[in-house]
Structure 1
């Protein structure tokens, strides 16, 4: 005879944080110890933190939080961003859900949030780790009145908005890796993906996907990414309120978007450059056309990276995988006249 997770969950909930022995669970539910353990693992996959101690049994240490549209609306300090919100338990990708809404005429500022994504994606086709109840997996709809060429500017704007909002809530020191990855001590805590729909060289709409590792623990990361990633909880030592963080991000995003619409890209460019971890450091960039080595010096008017190459020339890079580079002997990252 098998058991269902809710039945086991109700038994653990009844004890209000006290241990329930495996023997007691086995007798009350008429199941084996192996069946109990399998259901414990299922509850953990849903975001519960359950402690198991020999001779004592099991107890719930932490319950998964849920993002409530009502609670979010109460905390919002925006005019339009997040005012039209769709919250889902599980989706393949919030990008796909919001794109369908955009095609149906959803207004600018529409937000899609999911507790879990099955096929969340990042830049360059990478998958994104998005376990239930522990992160912020959301997409925001923009309908900017700008030419297609200026799309990279919005990517950098999104990075600055997340950087400023997360630093304000957590107090952590966060840097931006070009173009829009957020890092703490070299480990990634957030990724941003912009996908646009165009017509006649103009942008119809932009879907801004944001994945933020908020309350993930080390065991939530696959082995192949554990050394490269970190969560805000791991970095700060405390569990964070995801709804509060979403509200702060939307507030900052809307304010910077208003600045962008009123004053252009220059204020955003200066904010981005002040937070960059790549500028003026030897860097190797893997582009579609090959490897470029040099020193990033700034951001162009269109949002591209301006790289000074070893021969003293300047090269503009729009898309690349970026990594540190060790110059040959005699090159110190400062080009000679």
Structure 2
């Protein structure tokens, strides 16, 4: 009901809409309209109320509901069904808990604050209230399960493109981090539910530090983490950025499902943070030095060890760190 009221107010060309008109259009009492208007005000919408004139929308909050994102969407299915929360333990965890009850794909779980966000290898992701983007997409591609790791790079390419769309340059640290000025601004966590060779669903979690300030980062992570606002020196409209990610993701995802992974792959290679650099590969607690020389058609990182041998590193198998000289 609240979404329908906002739609009416947004489409009023900044004119007042009477309570009676809204009541007739939606088939509810004027008392119910008044109650929903107050709830919208509590959510952050600025609505002017004038006796005998009605209501007029004069400002929208920076919240990531479908109502605030849809006007920027060009997608057919990605992000067309959004489940929004004020706070949630983990969008990936919740997405997995409901995936079997949903039909189709492209559903998005978005929360304003994530209480127990997770990164790769079980690491915690700090998720401040209404300053970042914490979301998960539910996908059901008809793919071989060995192709699933590529979805992470499809998502990374989509985020990289969306950043560029808002005038922010970034790099992709294979396979799942987005870097600005040598600091992490975004992490991607892909999880799968499958049976032998059948994918039931994939959940792609994307966490982005958007409008965080310097004092939002503890001293332990301030030298390795940052936000778009800190690096670009400008406030970012989160709803527009989410829509740009969804728009780019749908294009790249459709190509990927149609066996055209090269589209996303080329973006990851052209904007790579690790290629042609000396890196440390960390596996089972052991650190091995190598040089990153390519990302192949399977999405694997191709490395050259100090003894001259060439190897392929699988996503999810290791952590990769730029070697400090």
Say yes or no: TM over 0.5.
Answer: yes
Residue 182 of structure 2 is matched in structure 1 by 186
What CA deviation, in whole Å up to 9, does each residue of 1:128-174 have, x standing for no partner? 111111110000111111111111111111111101111211x1220
Match of 2:318 among 317, 320, 323: 320
Give the superposed CA RMSD: 1.8
1:45-124 to structure 2, matched below 5 A, reads 65-124=62-121
Please state how far the C-alpha of 1:326 moved relative to its aligned partner.
6.1
Residue 234 of structure 2 is matched in structure 1 by 238
1:195 aligns with 2:191: yes
Please state how far the C-alpha of 1:88 moved relative to its aligned partner.
0.4
CA distance in 1, matches of 2:64, 2:285: 43
CA distance in 1, matches of 2:301, 2:281: 10
CA distance in 2, matches of 1:74, 1:64: 15
Aligned to 1:116, what secondary structure does the other structure show?
coil
Please state how far the C-alpha of 1:248 moved relative to its aligned partner.
0.5
Please state how far the C-alpha of 1:289 moved relative to its aligned partner.
7.2
Residues 175 and 275, structure 1, Cα contact 8 Å, conserved in 2: yes
Please state how far the C-alpha of 1:279 moved relative to its aligned partner.
0.7
CA distance in 1, matches of 2:263, 2:61: 39
Aligned to 1:283, what secondary structure does the other structure show?
strand
Match of 2:254 among 244, 258, 276: 258
Q: 1:167 to 1:216 in 2, by over 3 A?
A: same
Residues 185 and 228, structure 2, Cα contact 8 Å, conserved in 1: yes
Instruction: Identify the range of structure 1 (82-91 vs 64-73) with the bigger mean alpha-carbon deviation.
Output: 64-73
Aligned to 2:311, what secondary structure does the other structure show?
strand
For structure 1, list consecutive stretches of 5 or more residues without a partner in the other structure. Answer: 1-46, 48-62, 328-337
Aligned to 1:112, what secondary structure does the other structure show?
strand
CA distance in 2, matches of 1:324, 1:98: 33
CA distance in 1, matches of 2:283, 2:297: 20
Match of 1:142 among 139, 142, 151: 139
Residues 149 and 302, structure 1, Cα contact 8 Å, conserved in 2: no
Please state how far the C-alpha of 1:214 moved relative to its aligned partner.
0.6
1:218 aligns with 2:214: yes
- Bigger CA radius of gyration: 1
Q: 1:263 to 1:298 in 2, by over 3 A?
A: same
Please state how far the C-alpha of 1:64 moved relative to its aligned partner.
7.2
1:282 aligns with 2:278: yes
What CA deviation, in whole Å up to 9, does each residue of 1:79-115 have, x standing for no partner? 0011111000111001111112212134210001000
CA distance in 2, matches of 1:146, 1:205: 11
Aligned length: 265
Match of 1:228 among 220, 224, 229: 224
CA distance in 2, matches of 1:112, 1:323: 30
1:4-15 to structure 2, matched below 5 A, reads none
TM-score (norm 1): 0.75
Residues 65 and 82, structure 2, Cα contact 8 Å, conserved in 1: no
What CA deviation, in whole Å up to 9, does each residue of 1:39-59 have, x standing for no partner? xxxxxxxx9xxxxxxxxxxxx
Match of 1:300 among 290, 296, 300: 296
Residue 130 of structure 2 is matched in structure 1 by 133
CA distance in 2, matches of 1:181, 1:146: 24
